A and B are shown apart, each in its own frame.
Chain A
Amino acid sequence: MASLNDYLLVSGLLFAIGLAGVVLRRNIIIVFMCLELMLSAANLSLVAFSRFNAINGLPDYNGQMLVFFVITVAAAEVAVGLAIIVALYRARQTIHTDELTSLKG
């Protein structure tokens, strides 16, 4: 049986991969996918905590409710975010973060 720390380690590694992608990649769509990876890593640790903390002999379903809400909010966030990316591409013809320098002093 895998223990709680194994699940937390794997979840932390997935989060680290997502973080590396957000920092290193310059394509906004890839950055957005890496944000999804980070959300999923948080979901994995929530489900692991839910399974390993039994209440009345059952997994703690409050944790899984939070995962349900996170997944739904992430779906809404993806829809809005991709619409913003499409609007950005129409306005600037680029989705590379290097070329978006309006805020640079």
Chain B
Amino acid sequence: MSHHAPQGFVRKYIFSTDHKVIAKQYLFTGLAMAAIGGFFAYVIRSQLAWPGHAAVGYGVVSANGYNTLVTMHGTIMVFWVAMPVLLGAFGNFLIPLLIGTDDMAFPRLNLMSFWIFFLSSLVLIGSLFVPGGGSAVGWTVYPPLSAQASYSGGMWGVNLWILAVALEFVSFLMGGINFITTVINRRAPGMTMFRLPLFVWEEIVAAIVFLLSVGPLVAGAVMLLLDRLAGTGFYLPSRGGDPVLFQHLFWFFGHPEVYVLLLPALGILAEVITANSRKALFGYKMIVWATIAAGLLSFVVWAHHQFIAGIDPRLATAFSLTTILISVPFAITIFAFVATLFGGSIRFTTAMLFAIAMIAEFLLGGVTGIINGSAAADIYVHDTYFVVAHFHYALFPVVFLAPFAGLYHWWPKMFGRMLDTRLGIAHWLGTLIFFNMTFLPQFNLGMMGHHRRIADPTAFDFLRPGQHLQVLSTIGAIGMLLAQLPFVVNVVWSLVRGRSAESNPWKATTLEWTVSSPPPAENFAEVPQVHRGPYDYSPPGVGDDYIPQNSAPDGDRPGSAARSDPSDLEPVPAE
């Protein structure tokens, strides 16, 4: 813990090794990519509501252009928004602070992770401008469509897409190793594994799941590139290959990836909900074990994406069963968050409003997932708008609502300035109303049989009666984008004129709130000594309604949630 605060603009703000600076770099890159992904969503929606009419700000959407937009929207939102924001920004900023250390275990590796990620973003955006246009084969890049340029048009659009994704994976592999090493090796004295804030658990389980699942997909992507460039035939039946092989490799990664995103989002919720309901987390250890169980189960559910995709139908029931089972650990986690509210003293900060919204909306994503998870029902809903609505109800809360909760919560810590609450509530309300307006109609479209990834629904007689729902959905999407304006204004205003933040504006227990806002270059003036678990809110017999993790026990102060000896947890009569 002896490196000095770097001098000079470039070392301090661009090629910095400070985890807090790197976190902000991930954050702003992720938000910029979200603006691009959101713009593509708007163009897609405009085309679907008014096919053939020029989308304002883009122009007329061609059939292949539509496929490119759909491909890029999905790719950007999953790999270039969700990953950098949930892992890159929140993971980097919070992990060293929450565990009480000065930086990541490998600060220079951290710097390299970000810059490789940044390079991957440039490659991805560059891929849109090569001859033949960007990749139009879907974010799942199924071969043979993706394996031969003759099937899908452009050559370099897909090649660069694969390169960009590979670079992105390299970046997050290094980042994940850094997270895991940091948590194992750099915890402050007294910070046992079961005193870690839940956010840290969720981040490291996510990092481990990513680490173990990404290998097969990298191999799969290399084989795909060879098929395209070197004339091999891993996925081409005419050369002895099998296209379904790629689907297995893709989803062996692709489904765990969903949980790689979900877990950090749940971690954010745990911190925001406990601090704002002034309650200890309900069943901390139970949630940790449920998270680990979900991480393990996530490796045996992948083929539910392939029920109707040519796998042996006898396999379907097994994967249907594991898929439906994985609802249990997440049910435990969500129920525990709801139970945490019981008996609380709930403070509706903007962060808390977003956290509640995340649970309320995610529930719908969760229950509709059961329909997809049933192999029989999947016959009908697969590749329809029902699935589109389902995964937006699952992913939008994860990728946007939870990070917004986290941003409103930790913004004062990150930037040393408060955000405006009225603008925050306007942002929350607008986002929620228009989000539901966008995606609720899509469940109905799916039930009509409306299939995905078609540029012009009016070309099909049986879809025309649902066109008004497409229009409604598009109005919702435009509203949802406009609803982000209060957020932009809030952020800019806060950075320029915002009220200074004190070190612990929410009266929270975890270590990041024990240092100034923003924290100094090496976080802690001296290594903190941790004496208790992370959620000592409203313990009996104490004047304040929270005890920071580094607060030494004096006398017979009642136990913390994470003490190992159950006898410590006997209720102590209040004075």
A-B interaction: no
Q: Which B residues have a C-beta under 8 Å from some C-beta of A? A: none
